Each structure stands twice: as structure tokens, then as C-alpha cells.
Amino acid sequence: MKILLATVYHHPHVGGLSVHVETLKAGLEARGHEVDVLSFSDIPEFTQKAKVRGPGFLMNKVAKGKGFVYGLQKRKEMLQKLMEKAKRNNYDIVNAQEVYATFAAIDAGLPVVSTVHGYLTYEALSAGNILKDSAEERFLLQEEIKAYRGTRAIITVDTRIKEYVKREAGINGTAIRNFINVDDFRPDTENKAAYRKKHGVDEEAPVFFVPRRLTKKNGVIYPILSLPAVLEKYPNAQLIFAGTGEAMDEMKRLIAERGIEKNVRLLGAIPHQQIKEYYALADVVLVPSIHSAGVEEATSISALEAMGSGQPLIACAVGGLKEIVDHNVDGLLVEEKNVEELSAAMTELLDQPEKGRQLAERARAKIEAEYSHLAAAEKYEEIYKKAINR
């Protein structure tokens, strides 16, 4: 098959959606398919600024949320034009990665299936892009329903999102949990010291790594709140964040208030290849997601990568994290927003490195058996075939 993966956002970019696209592409190509990616990055930078970002910024100054909705609509229009040109490539199917990429494919006259990674409306509320009970909230929810009913097939990345689509739009989707390239993310502890030297990390320090976009729903403030209790026993412990987002200023404030600047590093956005190195140099990975404005974590790619990389994982017991982590078997689950419980779990894995090693070994075995990109690509392929025949 000739397959087009499409998104109205940038690709590649730092984040789970971009990783999903690249990993799915690799799996499909390994199965003999021809795969291209079309994204907002294919629009010239000047056009992006002049027609989307600039006007959207000004519109948000006038009325919060209007610029956000405008931006999505303009991205859809631009992606649609690119798709109309791409029709000469005779794609068998387009796999749209969100609502407005779905609209772009439908209006371009291309057969489309849609992957639903989250809750467009509720995530916009959680991030502060639109206001609660606003016209924009009502409009986006109707747009979601329209897209789910208009596509040929729905794929969701966890069962909660599948239930959400069924509840809101009356459409039965297929839940295919997120996955990783099991060849790329594997234990690399033999290079731990070398990576620490490369990135300026103390060879003797206990290291907690948080590979998360810095947004409210990812709970990124809670490792900061939990660290002081850990420092009482392990004063040289390090907390390293990789990601960027609107929570950065609050995180910096909390770090300064607690006087732990020397124990916390905010790397910002870093290349995905370097993420692998930070997994390898870490002692424990944290995925502290929380419920926010009705949004909960799907099958977290960061959690899967940590488990595939052979590092012990501590995650909050929300959303898809409860599906992929078996508490005290292949990771630790803690109550969301519970600072004391997170501190205790962090300390426990430093106190008991052998327990952490066992958790990590079982986690890697689970990833190989259940979350391989090759197995996921086969499932996607079957859905594509059925959609083409509709």
C-alpha cells in the first residue's frame, strides 16, 4: 500500500505525536509498505507566521480562544491544499492524526482513517487555549463529533478514548495502544558512565529523569514538590526534565522557592536521540501525569520508552498508565498529586536498587511481547485494508 500519515502540527517535533508517526512509519515500512508524512512543517515558515501564528496571536488578544480555533482552521486549509497536490501520488489511504487533518483529507477527496490520540476540546481547556463554557469549547466538541462520524475508521490509542468517541459521536473505534520501536529503545546501561560524562551529570548522583512536555496534565510540578524529602537522605540526587511548555515558569518558581536549583535541570526540548541517552544515564524515570480539565494520560509513549530502555518507572495511577504498568511487578504506581507517596517511591527505588533492576527487567519483557511497533503496524494495516474496501 501507499500510505500518507498526515498532521496539522509540525513534524518532526518534540512530543509523543511525532514519535508515534515516526514509529508507525518504521513499522509499516518494515512490512513492505510505502509511507510518506505530510505536516504543517511542509508549509513555508513565512506563510506559517503571516497567515496562522500572527493573526492567531492578535485574535487571542481580542478574545481568548478565537485565535486558537482560527489557527486550527487555517492549518486545515493549508494541509488540504498540499493533499490536493499529493493526489497525483495515488495514495491508497490517509491516516490523519487529529480532527483537522481528518477534515483536510475528506475535503481533498482522499480516503481517510483517523487516529485519535486524545481529547481535542478538553486538552485545549487544560492547556488554557480556550475558556470553559465558551463558544469555542462548544464549537470544538462539535468539530470532533463531525470528524469522528466522517472518517472511514477510528483508531484510538487507549480504551478510554475509544469510550469517549463512542459516547460523544456514537462511533465504534478500535483501540490500539501506543507502541515503540523495540530496536531503538533497549537497555544501554553499559554506556551509563559515558553518557553522564557527555552531558555533565555527576557519575555518583542518583538521577531521576522526567521526559515530559511541561504542561499541567503531565503533572510536572510534582517531582519538584517531592524532591526535598528525597534530598534529606540523598542530598546529591538530581532531577532532570526534558521538554518545554507553559508550565516552565511555575516550575522555575517552585524550584527557587525550595532552594533546590543545584539539584534540578530543565533541559528544554532536546533531540529524540538524546532522550535515549538520558534514559540510559538515569536511575529512575518518572511519569507523574494527573487528571486536568477532564483529560487523562493515554498509553504514554514516554512510559513505554522508559520500560523498553530498561529503567525502573514510577508513574501516577491515571488513564492508560494503569493499563501498561503492573504495580510492584514491572513498575510502581502512585496516587496522582500525592507528594508524600511520590517521595516515598523515589526513595524506595534508591534504597532498593535490586528491586528496581527486577522491575526494569520485567518491564522490558512486557514491551517486547506487547508493545512492538511491528505488531502495531500489522494491526493498522488490517484497518487500512478494510477502510479502502468501504
- Does the structure show a pLDDT above 90 at 281? yes
Q: Are 169 and 202 contained in the same domain?
A: no
Q: Which domain holds residue 279?
A: 189-370
What's residue 171's pLDDT? 97
Burial of 363 (0-12, 13-18, 19+ CB in 10 A): buried
Q: Are 129 and 109 contained in the same domain?
A: yes
Contact 221, 247 (CB under 8 A): yes
Among residues of the chain, what percentage have pLDDT more than 70?
Answer: 98
What's residue 201's pLDDT? 97
- Does the structure show a pLDDT above 70 at 323? yes
- Does the structure show a pLDDT above 80 at 340? yes
Q: Is residue 184 part of a domain?
A: no
Per-residue pLDDT band for 14 (boundaries 50, 70, 90) equals low
Q: Is residue 17 part of a domain?
A: yes
- Does the structure show a pLDDT above 90 at 294? no
Q: H or E element: which one contains 38? A: strand 34-38
Q: Are 353 and 381 contained in the same domain?
A: no
Per-residue pLDDT band for 298 (boundaries 50, 70, 90) equals low
Q: Are 213 and 172 contained in the same domain?
A: no
Q: Are 23 and 96 contained in the same domain?
A: yes
What digits encode the pLDDT tens for the residues 59-102? Answer: 999 899 999 999 999 999 999 999 999 999 999 999 999 999 99
Q: Are 94 and 195 contained in the same domain?
A: no
Q: Is residue 59 part of a domain?
A: yes
- Does the structure show a pLDDT above 70 at 293? no
Domain count, the chain: 2
Question: What is the domain-level CATH number for residue 170?
Answer: 3.40.50.2000
What's residue 140's pLDDT? 97
Give the pLDDT mean for 279-302: 86
Per-residue pLDDT band for 176 (boundaries 50, 70, 90) equals very high
Q: Are 158 and 26 contained in the same domain?
A: yes
Residues in the chain: 390
d(CA 248, CA 244): 7
Q: Are 292 and 197 contained in the same domain?
A: yes
Q: Are 148 and 204 contained in the same domain?
A: no
What's residue 346's pLDDT? 98
Q: Is residue 51 part of a domain?
A: yes
Q: Are 267 and 130 contained in the same domain?
A: no
- Does the structure show a pLDDT above 90 at 297? no
- Does the structure show a pLDDT above 80 at 107? yes
Q: 112 has which bridge partners? A: 94
Q: Is residue 35 part of a domain?
A: yes
Which residue, chain included where needed, has cell 498532521? 7
Helix, strand or coil, per DSSP, at residue 95: strand
Q: Are 384 and 351 contained in the same domain?
A: no
What digits encode the pLDDT tens for the residues 192-206? Answer: 999 999 999 999 999
Contact 153, 169 (CB under 8 A): no
Query: Which runs of consecutive H residues, i.e. helices, occur in the chain?
Result: 16-30, 45-48, 54-62, 66-86, 99-107, 120-126, 135-150, 159-169, 192-198, 221-231, 248-258, 272-281, 301-308, 321-324, 339-351, 353-370, 373-388
> What distance, in Å, lies between the first and last C-alpha atoms of the chain?
16
Q: Are 110 and 202 contained in the same domain?
A: no
Give the pLDDT mean for 223-230: 98
What digits encode the pLDDT tens for the residues 112-158? Answer: 999 999 999 999 998 899 999 999 999 999 999 999 999 999 999 98
Higher pLDDT, 18 or 224: 224
What's residue 371's pLDDT? 92
Q: Is residue 274 part of a domain?
A: yes
Q: Is residue 132 part of a domain?
A: yes
Give the pLDDT mean for 274-295: 90
Model pTM? Answer: 0.77
SS (H, E, C) 150-216: HCCCEEECCHHHHHHHHHHHCCCCEECCCCECCCCCCCCHHHHHHHHHHCCCCCCCCEEEECCCCCH
**pLDDT, the chain, mean:** 94
What's residue 256's pLDDT? 97
Q: 286 has which bridge partners? A: 314
